C-alpha cells in the first residue's frame, strides 16, 4: 500500500513540475555546431602544435618580432671524449638514439685511426657508447678478443664511417631492429665511395646487406628516419657522383630499394658572402612539420688563413624547415625566408651570420672551435630538445692548417618547440592568427612571461571579439611553462570556440611565445537532449 502511494506521488510530481526537468534536458548553448565548406571558408583546420618558424598560422604582427633561438651548449662538453687508444686521433660523425627497451641512450660515432697527416689513408671505424642520462657515457667492451676495444663494426671495407643509425620497431624481423647507413671506400679512391646499409638486433653485432652498395653515392654521414605521414624511409645526402656539396633526397618503402636522388637545397644569395657550401643535412618530423639541421661549410681553402678571415675553412650549422618533408626553406634571424626574398638585394653577409643556429666554439682553445656537425635527428627528452654533435678544434683541411687537434661529441639543448619564438619587450605587442578551426576544449600555450604578461582574446572570422573570450576575460600568464592552460573568467574551457572559424590575438609584454596547441582535456559525454 505504501509503495503504491509513493508511486502516485512521483507521477503527480512529474505532471505538476515539468519545467525544471525539461530545463535539465536542454543542450548547453553553443555545444552543438554545424561545419561545412561554406562555414569553413578560407579558415585553416589545425591539429596539434602550431609553431612560428614560418608564417602559416600568422596573420599579423604588431610590436613583436620573430627570433631564431640558438641551442645552449652543455657545460660538461664534450660529453663524449677520446679516452682510450682505440678512439684514434679524432672522432666526428655520430648518431644518438634513446632505446625504450632498456631505457638507455646509445651512440655510434666515427673514429679516425692513423695520424692527421695521412689524409685519405685514415682507417675509419665505428665506436659504441651507452648512457643512462645522455650526459655521462660509458664505452662497453664489445670485442672480448681485444682489450679496451669498443669497436662495433669492423668489416673488410676500408674507410668505414659516418654511422647513421635508427631504431625500427616497425620491422617484424628482430634482427633488423637497428638499421644503419654508413660510408665505405673499399678501393681507397673516389670512384669506390658508396653508402651502404647494415642491420643489427642489439646495435652491437651488425650484418651488412648482401646487395651492398644499394644507396647512391655520398661520402658523408646520412641519418635515415621513418616518415609516418608518407609511410616511407627518408634520407638526405649529397648529390653525386661526382661529389657535389648540395642536398639531395631519397626515399624507400623497404630500406633496400631507394628512389633516384632529387636535389632539394641549392645555394642562394644567402650563401654567397661566406662562400658557403652544404656539407650535410639531417631532417626529422616534428609536431606535424619537418625540422632540418644544415651543416654549412664556409670558404673552403688550403691557403694560409688571414688574421681577419678566421671564419675561413670552418663549419657551423643553420636551421631549415619544411611542411611537406620534400621542399625546404631556409631559416634566418626572423624565421623562414621565402624563395622570392632570397633574390632581394640586402646585406647578405649579416643575414648569413645571424642565421647561424649551432655555432662553432667562440674561444680560441674551444674543443669545437673549428667545426660542428649535428648529424642525427634532434631528440625530445622531457621538456627539452637535445642536439648531439661532433665537434673538432681544427679547421676542415687540417693537413694544411696546423691547428691543435681535439675532438669529441657535444650536447646542445633547446627549449621544447623553441626553434623560433615571437618576442615582445617593454612595449606591448600582438600576434593575430589567420582564421583557424580546431577541435578540442583547451588551448595550451608554450611561453615565457616571467616579468611580463601574456593574454589571449578570441575573434570571429570578421575580427570581432567573441563575448566571454575578450582580453579582459583572460587570466594573464605571468610565468614560464611549456604547458600553460588558457583560462577565461566565465568559461571553464574553450569548447565554445571549437569547430568555428576564429582568430586568436596574443597580447605580449616582456614575453616570448613559442607555440600553442588545441587539446582535449575533458570528457564531454552528454545525456540525450530534446
Backbone angles phi, psi at 430, to 5 degrees: -135, 150
3-state secondary structure of 432: strand
In this structure, are residues 507 and 454 in contact, taking their beta carbons and an 8 Å threshold? yes
Residues 205-210 have a mean pLDDT of 91
Burial classification of residue 21, based on how many CB atoms lie within 10 Å of its CB (0-12 exposed, 13-18 middle, 19 or more buried)? exposed
Residues 458-463 have a mean pLDDT of 92
What pLDDT does 491 receive? 83
As a whole number of angstroms, the distance between CA 281 and CA 297 comes to 12
Reported as a single tens digit per residue, the pLDDT across 309-353 is: 999 999 999 999 999 999 999 999 999 999 999 999 999 999 999
For residue 492, give the C-alpha cell: 571553464
Domains of the chain: 29-69+421-519 (2.60.120), 72-417 (2.115.10.20)
Reported as a single tens digit per residue, the pLDDT across 354-365 is: 999 999 999 999
What pLDDT does 215 receive? 87
Residues 431-456 have a mean pLDDT of 97
Cell numbers 687537434 correspond to what residue? 405
Provide the 8-state DSSP code for 56.
S
In this structure, are residues 392 and 109 in contact, taking their beta carbons and an 8 Å threshold? no
Reported pTM: 0.91
Neighbours of 314 (CB within 10 A): 25
Provide the 8-state DSSP code for 465.
B
The yes-or-no verdict on residue 120 having pLDDT over 90 is: no
H or E element that contains 22: helix 18-24
Phi-psi region of 41 (alpha: psi -120 to 50; beta: other; left: phi over 0): left
DSSP-derived secondary structure for 187-256: TSSGGG-EEEEEEESSSSSEEE-TT---BPP-SS----EEETTTTEEEEEEEETTTTEEEEEEEEESSSS
Neighbours of 343 (CB within 10 A): 9
Phi-psi region of 22 (alpha: psi -120 to 50; beta: other; left: phi over 0): alpha
- Contacting residues for 347 by C-beta, under 8 A, at least 6 apart: none
- Beta strands 436-437 and 44-45, pairing class: parallel
CA–chain centroid gap for 330, Å, is: 14
Cell numbers 631528440 correspond to what residue? 379
The yes-or-no verdict on residue 453 having pLDDT over 90 is: yes
- How does residue 13 score in pLDDT terms, banded at 50, 70 and 90? low
When the pLDDT of each residue in the chain is averaged and rounded to a whole number, the result is: 89
- How does residue 190 score in pLDDT terms, banded at 50, 70 and 90? confident
Burial classification of residue 221, based on how many CB atoms lie within 10 Å of its CB (0-12 exposed, 13-18 middle, 19 or more buried)? buried
Range 379-406 burial, b when 16+ CB lie within 10 A, else e: bbeeebbbbbbbbbbbbbebeebebebb
Provide the 8-state DSSP code for 74.
P
Q: Find the farthest-apart pair of alpha carbons in the chain and give their distance in angstroms, rounded.
A: 111
As a whole number of angstroms, the distance between CA 271 and CA 351 comes to 10
What residues form DSSP beta bridges with 226?
233
As a whole number of angstroms, the distance between CA 312 and CA 395 comes to 8
The yes-or-no verdict on residue 388 having pLDDT over 80 is: yes
Amino acid at each position: 500500500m505504501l509503495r503504491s502511494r509513493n508511486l502516485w506521488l512521483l507521477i503527480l510530481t512529474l505532471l505538476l513540475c515539468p519545467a525544471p526537468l525539461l530545463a535539465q534536458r536542454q543542450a548547453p548553448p553553443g555545444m552543438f555546431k554545424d561545419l561545412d565548406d561554406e562555414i569553413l571558408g578560407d579558415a585553416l583546420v589545425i591539429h596539434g602544435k602550431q609553431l612560428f618558424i614560418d608564417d602559416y598560422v600568422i596573420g599579423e604582427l604588431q610590436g613583436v618580432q620573430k627570433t631564431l633561438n640558438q641551442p645552449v651548449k652543455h657545460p660538461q662538453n664534450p660529453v663524449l671524449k677520446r679516452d682510450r687508444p682505440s678512439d684514434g686521433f679524432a672522432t666526428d660523425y655520430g648518431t644518438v638514439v634513446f632505446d625504450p627497451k632498456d631505457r638507455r641512450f646509445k651512440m655510434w660515432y666515427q673514429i679516425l685511426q692513423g695520424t692527421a697527416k695521412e689524409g685519405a689513408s685514415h682507417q675509419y671505424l665505428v665506436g659504441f657508447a651507452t648512457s643512462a642520462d645522455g650526459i655521462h657515457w660509458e664505452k662497453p667492451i664489445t670485442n672480448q678478443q681485444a682489450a679496451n676495444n669498443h669497436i662495433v663494426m669492423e668489416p673488410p671495407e676500408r674507410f668505414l664511417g659516418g654511422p647513421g643509425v635508427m631504431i625500427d620497431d616497425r620491422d617484424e624481423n628482430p634482427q633488423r631492429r637497428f638499421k644503419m647507413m654508413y660510408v665505405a671506400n673499399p678501393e681507397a679512391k673516389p670512384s669506390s665511395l658508396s653508402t651502404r646499409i647494415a642491420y643489427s638486433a642489439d646495435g652491437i653485432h651488425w650484418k651488412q646487406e648482401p646487395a651492398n652498395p644499394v644507396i647512391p653515392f655520398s661520402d658523408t654521414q646520412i641519418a635515415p628516419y621513418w616518415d609516418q605521414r608518407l609511410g616511407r624511409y627518408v634520407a638526405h645526402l649529397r648529390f653525386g657522383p661526382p661529389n657535389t656539396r648540395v642536398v639531395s633526397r631519397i626515399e624507400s618503402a623497404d630500406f633496400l630499394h631507394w628512389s633516384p636522388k632529387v636535389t632539394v637545397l641549392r645555394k642562394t644569395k644567402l650563401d654567397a658572402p661566406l662562400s658557403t657550401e652544404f656539407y650535410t643535412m639531417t631532417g626529422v618530423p616534428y609536431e606535424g612539420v619537418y625540422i632540418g639541421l644544415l651543416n654549412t661549410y664556409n670558404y673552403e681553402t688550403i691557403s694560409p688563413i688571414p688574421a681577419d678571415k678566421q671564419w675561413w675553412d670552418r663549419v657551423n650549422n643553420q636551421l631549415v624547415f619544411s611542411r611537406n618533408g620534400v621542399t625546404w626553406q631556409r631559416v634566418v634571424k626572423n624565421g623562414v625566408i621565402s624563395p622570392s626574398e632570397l633574390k632581394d638585394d640586402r646585406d647578405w653577409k649579416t643575414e648569413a651570420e645571424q642565421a647561424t643556429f649551432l655555432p662553432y666554439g667562440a674561444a680560441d682553445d674551444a674543443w669545437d672551435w673549428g667545426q660542428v656537425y649535428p648529424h642525427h635527428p634532434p631528440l625530445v627528452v622531457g621538456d627539452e630538445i637535445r642536439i648531439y654533435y661532433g665537434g673538432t678544434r681544427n679547421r676542415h683541411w687540417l693537413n694544411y692548417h696546423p691547428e691543435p687537434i681535439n675532438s669529441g661529441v657535444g650536447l646542445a639543448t633547446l627549449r621544447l618547440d623553441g626553434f623560433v619564438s615571437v618576442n615582445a619587450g617593454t612595449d606591448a605587442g600582438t600576434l593575430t592568427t589567420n582564421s583557424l578551426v580546431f577541435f578540442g576544449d583547451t588551448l595550451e600555450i608554450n611561453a615565457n612571461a616571467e616579468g611580463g604578461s601574456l593574454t589571449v582574446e578570441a575573434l570571429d572570422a570578421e575580427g570581432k571579439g567573441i563575448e566571454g573570450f575578450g582580453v579582459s576575460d583572460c587570466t594573464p600568464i605571468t610565468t614560464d611553462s611549456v604547458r600553460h592552460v588558457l583560462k577565461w573568467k566565465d568559461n571553464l574551457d574553450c569548447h565554445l570556440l571549437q569547430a568555428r572559424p576564429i582568430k586568436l590575438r596574443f597580447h605580449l609584454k616582456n614575453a616570448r611565445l613559442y607555440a600553442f596547441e588545441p587539446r582535449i582535456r575533458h570528457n564531454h559525454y552528454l545525456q540525450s537532449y530534446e
